[in-house]
Amino acid sequence: MRHTLPLAPQFYVTAPQPCPYIEGRMERKLFTALQGENAARLNDELSAQGFRRSQNVLYRPSCADCAACLSARIVAKAFKPTKSQKRVSKKNAGLERRATSPWATEEQYELFRRYLGSRHADGGMADMDVFEFAAMIEETPIRSRVIEYIDRETKALVAVCLTDVLKDGLSMVYSFFDPDRARDSLGTHIILDHVEIARASALPYVYLGYWVPGSQKMGYKAKFSALEIYKQNQWTPIGDPHQHEVATHPLSTPPIAEQVANISLPDLTTHRSRP
């Protein structure tokens, strides 16, 4: 089904399918194409409204009977690591960060396959071949970087994050790491390092994707301080994670057309280049 506004991108909604985070729930997504000379401006604007990028598509959950998926971001300036997170940074002090253009390599793909086999063998990416992996990394119409983490001693690639550079922060599109180094908490280290990159670049936020209360897969995001969630069309401090209700009455979810009408869009009639 297509939904559109005059002089605006066209929005579509996917058919319902089983939710990967909460058993027994069905999910659907509202999405639009990300292309053309105004792609960066559209990505900036919609990312600030809870959308995420996947290649040349921007999407946001739009489930008929649930509103559990909440976009999350860290306020970089206000973030304070816990004692546990400080230990993670110290444990990974031997890693070297390397930022490159979004170009897929065989070494990345090998690490990606090992990560999926250990962590998400039954997930939606389990059957992704090398060409699909390359598309995930390389098909980006905006300013993106691949952040690699290299063991200084062994020179081995141990972690990777595909990162978008927004006007107000860094968006962690997808990350994966060596499953044999579980004790090193590499996923946490990647987030902590992105907070440092954002601070050094004077960028206010680090976008983490979706936090889902009640989902063990997403629960780790609530452990970071200065975390905000996008709820009821605004960013707000997460507060007590246990106070966020997973279930939503079906009648409380606005129709798709109403959701689209409430999306704030940049002025796409003129082109503004980004330095």
pLDDT at site 118 = 80
Tens place of pLDDT per residue across the chain (275 aa): 555 444 568 999 999 999 888 888 889 999 999 988 889 999 999 999 999 999 999 999 998 878 889 999 999 999 999 999 999 999 999 999 999 999 999 999 999 999 998 876 565 676 789 999 999 999 999 999 999 999 999 999 999 999 999 999 999 999 999 999 999 999 999 999 999 999 999 999 999 999 998 777 788 899 999 999 999 889 999 999 888 876 676 666 788 888 998 899 987 665 544 44
The sign one gets for the Cα dihedral 275, 32, 128, 118 is positive
Query: What are the CA-CA distances from residue 84 to residues 45, 91, 139, 195, 239 (Å)?
Result: 34, 11, 36, 16, 20
pLDDT at site 5 = 46
Bridge-based pairing of strands 70-75 and 57-61 is unpaired
pLDDT at site 232 = 86
Half-sphere exposure of 121 (CA within 13 A, CB side): 4
The three state secondary structure string of the chain is CEEECCCCCEEEECCCEECCCCCCCEECEEEEECCCCCHHHHHHHHHCCCCEEECCEEEEECCCCECCCEEEEEEHHHCCCCHHHHHHHHHCCCEEEEEECCCCCHHHHHHHHHHHHHHCCCCCCCCCCHHHHHHHHHCCCCCEEEEEEEECCCCCEEEEEEEEEECCEEEEEEEEECHHHHHHCHHHHHHHHHHHHHHHCCCCEEEEEEECCCCCCCHHHHHCCCEEEEECCEEEECCCHHHCCCECCHHHCCCHHHHHHCCCCCCCCCCCCCC
Query: What residues contact 88, with CB distance under 8 A and at least 6 apart?
Result: 184, 185, 188, 189, 192
Query: What residues contact 117, with CB distance under 8 A and at least 6 apart?
Result: 179
Q: Give tens-digit pLDDT for 143-170.
A: 999 999 999 999 999 999 999 999 999 9
Domains (range + CATH), the chain? 2-71+243-261 (no CATH), 73-242 (3.40.630.30)
Reading the block at residue 33, the tokens are: 């194409």
pLDDT at site 216 = 77
Phi/psi at 161 (nearest 5 deg)? Answer: -140, 125
pLDDT at site 273 = 47
Q: Give tens-digit pLDDT for 172-213.
A: 999 999 999 999 999 999 999 999 999 999 999 999 999 998
pLDDT at site 123 = 59
To the nearest 10°, report the CA torsion of 8, 41, 71, 135. Answer: 100
pLDDT at site 244 = 82
